[in-house]
Amino acid sequence: MDYSYDAVIIGAGIIGASIAYELAKKGQRTLNLDRLPASGYGSTGASCAIIRTHYSTLDGSALAYESFFTWKDWPGYIGVRDERGLAKYFNTGVVVIKTELNKHLEPICAIMDELGIPYEHWDNKLLSNKLPIYDLRKFSPVRRPGDPGFGEPTGGVVDGAVFFPNGGYVSDPQLATHNIQVAAEARGAKFRFNTEVVEIRQEDGRTAGVVLKGGEAIDAPVVVNVAGPHSYIINRMAGVEAGMNIKTRALRQEVAHVPSPEGFNFEEDGYVISDSDIGCYSRPEIGNHILVGSEDPACDEREWVDPDDYNREFSEQWTAQVHRTAQRIPTLGIPGQAKGVVDLYDVTDDWIPIYDKSDLPGFYMAVGTSGNQFKNAPVAGAMMAALIEACEGGRDHDADPVHFELPNIARSLDLGFFSRRRKINTDSSFTVLG
């Protein structure tokens, strides 16, 4: 067996697999290592897999819009046959309720105009026609069940919505990751599972490879940290955290699955919906269900955890999300048993990911991506491959940031936007919305 590679990639979630695919396209010999039993098995598999084009920042929106075109032509991106079949992208469109909190989408619409991203303004009449199950009365500020006034309208109605036609969701994020793995393997990439990295090897002041649990050493001049919620542990292992102004932590999250109201087929007729008036987002789920997540309002306490030791059972957070959604959908049936997903996000201090080199030559990071970067994974893989190629070719990315061309939208993206050394980006929503 050959234990020498051009690049070792720690993690085989959708971004780790995408980096392998893009490096393999460049002729690099890559090896993905993952402690779990299959690709996309961790936080990727638990992702809501929402595809949208709007972010709170210009660069974030540009990346998302470019990524949309990949999902629109998923078979063309993969380019090979996967015996498990290809993941399906559902272009439902995305509805964002206008609220005071999001400034009635005016800043986001200005970004959309600059980038040429299509959107429509929906008044309440159209919104009610599209979603007749919706009660459009205001309920903000967002509360939790048991708080005084919970469930009581607070006066007036919401001011319509903005509809983004280029958006939706992927039905099976783990299958999408396997698709990319198969495409990468067709280019020569290797994957190993149930394999844990315990040391980042260094020689002559740069990366030299990794050591696995059990003592096996693997040589590689490049190591890429794409370890999801464990990414901060790998960064500490490499000794690079001190050189990072932006860091990552593991955040516990719950997502609820509830049945669609009787008489309305949310799976067929629903949308991806963002509603800061009730502090929740939702999308269609298989079996005519509605997937419901939190938009991280102030009343939802953030639970930072040890990624190897956290509560995997549903809590009152599940109840809070479902009951807030029932404010908007009064006919929502609330099941007696909680269903959905409990898992982890890998989150940076400003909820914008780090796609960057590190202070250790040869050690790279694609971290802090959970919650809002699934949609960007294919393009993020290409960005990281371009960054690695430039830095290994001698470019000082910190002093002279690499620019990456987004061909579908004819725009150049300054990858310094995702730097580990950036200041906290005050344009961020500081939530899962990015």
Residue 3: what pLDDT? 65
CATH number of 94-165+249-347: 3.30.9.10
Cα distance between residue 346 and residue 326, in whole Å: 29
Distance CA 324, CA 270 (A): 18
In eight-state DSSP terms, residue 4 is B
pLDDT value of residue 196:
98
**Which of 244, 174, 228 lies closest to 9 in space, CA to CA?**
228
CATH class of 7-85+172-247+350-418: alpha beta
Under 8 Å CB-to-CB from 146, ≥6 apart: which residues?
none
Spans of all domains in the chain: 7-85+172-247+350-418, 94-165+249-347
Region of 171 on the Ramachandran plot (φ > 0 left; ψ -120 to 50 alpha; else beta): alpha
Q: In what order do the strands lie in the sheet with 50-51?
A: 50-51, 168-170, 89-90
What gap in Å lies between CA 259 and CA 279, rounded to an integer? 19
**Which pLDDT belongs to residue 1?**
39
* The two three-digit tokens of residue 89, written as one number: 């992208």
Low-confidence ranges of the chain (pLDDT < 50): 1-2
Contacts of 70 (CB under 8 A, 6+ apart): 77, 378, 379
The whole model's pTM is what? Answer: 0.97
Write down the pLDDT at residue 207.
98
- The tens digit of pLDDT for each residue in 320-342 reads 999 999 999 999 999 999 999 99
Of 43, 91, 86, 40, give the one whose Cα is nearest residue 68: 91
Residue 121 DSSP symbol: E
What's residue 400's pLDDT?
98
